[in-house]
Structure 1
Amino acid sequence: MVSACAYSGAYPTGYGLYTKNTEGVPEAMFDAPQASGFTHFQQSGTGAIRKYYNYVRVTPMVQPLDCLGQAWALHDEVAEPGYYAATLDTGVRSELTVGAKVAVHRYTFPQTRSARVVLDLSCGGLAIDHGRTVPLRAHVEMVGPGRAQGTVVVEGVPLSVYVEFDTPRWRQMLWYDRRLIEGGTRLDFDRIRQTTLRPFGLLFMGSAAAGQSVEVRIGFSLRGCEQARRNLHRECGEGELAFDDLRARTSANWSDHVGRVEVQGGTDARRQVFATSMYHSLIKPCFGDDESPFWPTPGPFAFDVCTMWDIYKTEIPLLAAIVPDRAVDLLESLIRVCEEEGNFPIGYRMARGADRFFRQASALAHTALADAHALGLGDLDWNWALVHMADDLRRMYGEDYYEHGVVHPITHTLDLAYAYHCTAGVARAMGDPMLAEDMVARSRLWSNAFDPATGLLVDSSFYEGGKWNYSFRLIHDMAGRIALAGGDAPFVRMLDSFFGFGADPVVQPGVRPDPTTMAAGYALNRFEGLNNEPDMEAPWSYHYAGRPDRTAEVVHAALTHQFGTGPGGLPGNDDSGGLSSWYVWASLGLFPIAGQGLFLVNAPAFEQATIHLAEGDFTIETSGHRQAPISSDGFDRPPAPQYVQSARLNGKPLDVAHLSAATVHAGGRLHLELGPEPSEWGSKFRPPSLSDPHGTGARP
Structure 2
Amino acid sequence: MVSACAYSGAYPTGYGRYAKNTEGVPEEMFGELQASGFTHFQQSGTGAIRKYYNYVRVTPMVQPLDDLGQAWPLHDETAEPGYYAATLGTGIRSEITVGDKVAVHRYTFPRSSSSRVVIDMSCGGLAIELGRTIPLRAQVESMGQGFAQGTVWMEGVPLSVFVQFDAPRWRQMLWYDRRLINGGTRLDFDSIRHTTLRPFGMLFMGPTVAGQTVEIRMGFSLRGHEQARRNLEKECGVETAAFDTVRSRTRARWGDHLDRVQVEGGTPARRTVLATSLYHSLIKPCFGDDESPFWPDSGPYAFDVCTMWDIYKTQLPLLSAIVPDRANDLLESLIRVCEEEGNFPIGYRMARGADRFFRQGSALAHTALADAHALGREGIDWNWALVHMVDDLRRMYGEDFWEHGVVHPISHTLDLAYAHHATAKVARALNDRRLADDLEERSRGWRNAFDPETGLLRDSEFYEGGKWNYSFRLLHDMRARIALAGGDAAFTRILDQFFGYGADPVTQPGRAPKPSEMAAGYALNRFEGLNNEPDMEAPWAYHYAGRPDRTAEVVHAALTWQFGTGRGGLPGNDDSGGLSSWYVWASLGLFPVAGQNRFLINSPAFRSAMIRTGEGEFVIETSGHRDSPIGVDGIDRTPPVQYVQAATLNGRPLDATHVSAADVHRGGRLQLTLGPEPSSWGRGIRPPSLSDSAAAAQ
Query: Partners of 2:22 and 2:13 in 1: how far apart?
Result: 12
CA–CA distance in 1 between the matches of 2:249 and 2:592?
A: 32
1:144 match: secondary structure: coil
Shift of 1:12: 2.7
1:303 maps to 303
Partner AA of 1:196 in structure 2: T
Which residue in 2 is equivalent to 1:207? 207
- The within-5 A match list for 1:176-575 is 176-575=176-575
Cα distance, 1:23 vs structure 2: 1.5
Q: Output the CA distance in 1 between the equivalents of 2:14 and 2:653.
A: 46
Alpha-carbon contact 1:688-1:694 (below 8 Å) kept: no
Structure 1 contact 14–568 (Cα < 8 Å) conserved: no
Aligned equivalents of 1:694 and 1:666: distance in 2?
29
Distance 1:232 1:295, change over 3 A: same
Q: Which residue of 2 aligns with 1:611?
A: 611
In structure 2, distance between residues paired with 1:137 and 1:355: 22
8 Å CA contact 1:13–1:573 kept in 2: the answer is no
User: Which residue in the other structure is 2:8 paired with?
Assistant: 8
Alignment of 1:133-212 (within 5 A): 133-212=133-212
Residue aligning to 1:48: 48
Q: Following the alignment from structure 2 to structure 1, what is the Cα–Cα distance between the partners of residues 65 and 186?
A: 19
Aligned to 2:576: 576
Deviations 1:654-679 (A, max 9, x none): 00110011111111100000011111
Amino acid at match of 2:445: L
Which whole-Å CA distance do the structure 2 matches of 1:52 and 1:616 have between them? Answer: 38
The AA in structure 2 aligned to 1:258 is L
Secondary structure (helix, strand or coil) at the match of 2:619 reads strand
- How many equivalent residue pairs? 695
Query: Are 2:7 and 2:15, in contact at CA under 8 Å, matched by a contact in 1?
Result: no
Residue identity opposite 1:50 in structure 2: R
SS at match of 2:669: strand
- Aligned mates of 1:87, 1:492 — CA distance in 2: 55
Cα deviations across residues 249-290 of structure 1 (Å, max 9, x unaligned)?
Answer: 000000100110111100111111111111100000000000
Note the C-alpha offset of 1:586. 0.4
Partner in structure 1 of residue 28 of structure 2: 28
Structure 2 match to 1:95: 95
1:160 alignment partner AA: S
Q: Which amino acid aligns with 1:127?
A: A
Q: State the 1:13 CA deviation.
A: 5.7
Q: Which residue number corresponds to residue 664 of structure 2?
A: 664
What is the aligned partner in structure 2 of residue 602 from structure 1? 602
Relative distance call for 1:390 and 1:434 in structure 2 (3 A) is same
11 and 314 in structure 1: CA distance in 2 versus 1, 3 angstrom threshold: same
CA contact (8 A) 1:50 1:130 kept: yes
Q: What is the deviation of 1:567?
A: 2.6
TM normalised by structure 2 equals 0.98
Answer yes or no: is the 8 Å Cα contact 2:549–2:678 preserved in 1: yes
Tell me, yes or no, if the aligned pair for 1:687 and 1:694 is still in contact at 8 Å: no
The Cα offsets for residues 116-151 of structure 1, whole Å up to 9 and x where unpaired, read as: 100000000000111110100000001111100011
How far, CA to CA, are the matches of 2:6 and 2:120 in structure 1? 14
Supply the distance in 2 between the matched residues of 1:694 and 1:564 (Cα, whole angstroms). 45
Equivalent-residue separation in structure 1 for 2:632 and 2:387 (angstroms): 56
Residue 638 of structure 1: CA displacement? 5.8
Alignment of 1:588 with 2:588, yes or no, is yes
Any stretches of 5+ residues in structure 1 without a counterpart? none
2:631 is aligned with 1:654: no
Tell me the amino acid that sits aligned with residue 40 of structure 1: H
The structural deviation recorded for 1:51 is 3.7
State the 1:15 CA deviation. 5.8
How far apart in 2 are the matches of 1:105 and 1:567? 27
RMSD of Structure 2 on Structure 1 (CA): 1.5
C-alpha deviation, 1:2, in angstroms: 0.4
Mapped to 2, the partners of 1:555 and 1:632 lie a distance apart of: 15
Q: Distance in 1 between matches of 2:424 and 2:126?
A: 44
* CA deviation vs aligned residue, 1:384-432 (integer Å, no higher than 9, x gap): 0000000000011000000111001100000000000000000000010
What are the equivalent positions in structure 2 for 1:48-87 lying under 5 Å apart? 48-87=48-87
1:613 to partner: Cα distance: 1.4
Q: Deviations over 1:296-330 (max 9, x none)?
A: 00000000000000110000100110110100000
Whether the aligned pair in 1 keeps the contact of 2:273 and 2:563 (CA below 8 Å) is yes
Cα offset, 1:355, TM superposition: 1.0
Residue pair 1:27, 1:511 contacting (<8 A) in 2 also: yes
What is the DSSP-based 3-state SS (H/G/I as helix, E as strand, rest coil) of the residue aligned with 1:255?
Answer: helix
Unaligned stretches of 5+ in structure 2?
none
Alpha-carbon contact 1:590-1:602 (below 8 Å) kept: yes
- How far 1:25 sits from its partner (Å)? 1.4
Q: Residues 630 and 366 (structure 1 numbering): CA distance in 2 closer, same or farther, change over 3 Å?
A: closer
Look up the equivalent residue of 1:605 and give its one-letter code.
A
Matched with 1:643 is: 643
Taking the aligned partners of 2:524 and 2:45, their CA distance within structure 1 comes to 27
Deviation (angstroms), 1:168: 2.0
* Preserved CA contact (<8 Å) 2:7 2:14: no
Deviates more, 1:565-574 or 1:490-499: 565-574
Question: Does 1:110 find its partner at 2:110?
Answer: yes
Displacement of 1:435 in angstroms is 0.2
Indicate how the Cα distance of structure 1 residues 694 and 110 shifts in structure 2: closer, same or farther if over 3 A, else same: farther
Secondary structure of 1:205's aligned partner: strand
Asked if the contact 2:277–2:581 (Cα under 8 Å) also holds between the matched residues in 1, the reply is yes
- Tell me if the contact between 1:609 and 1:619 (Cα under 8 Å) persists in the aligned partners: yes
| C-alpha displacement of 1:14 | 9.8
Query: Does the 8 A contact of 1:261 with 1:612 survive in 2?
Result: yes
How far 1:694 moved relative to its partner?
Answer: 9.8
Residues in 1 aligned to 2:686 and 2:425: alpha-carbon distance in whole angstroms: 21
Residues in 1 aligned to 2:19 and 2:668: alpha-carbon distance in whole angstroms? 47
Distance 1:498 1:264 in 2: 34
In the aligned structure 2, how far is the partner of 1:13 from the partner of 1:585? Answer: 25
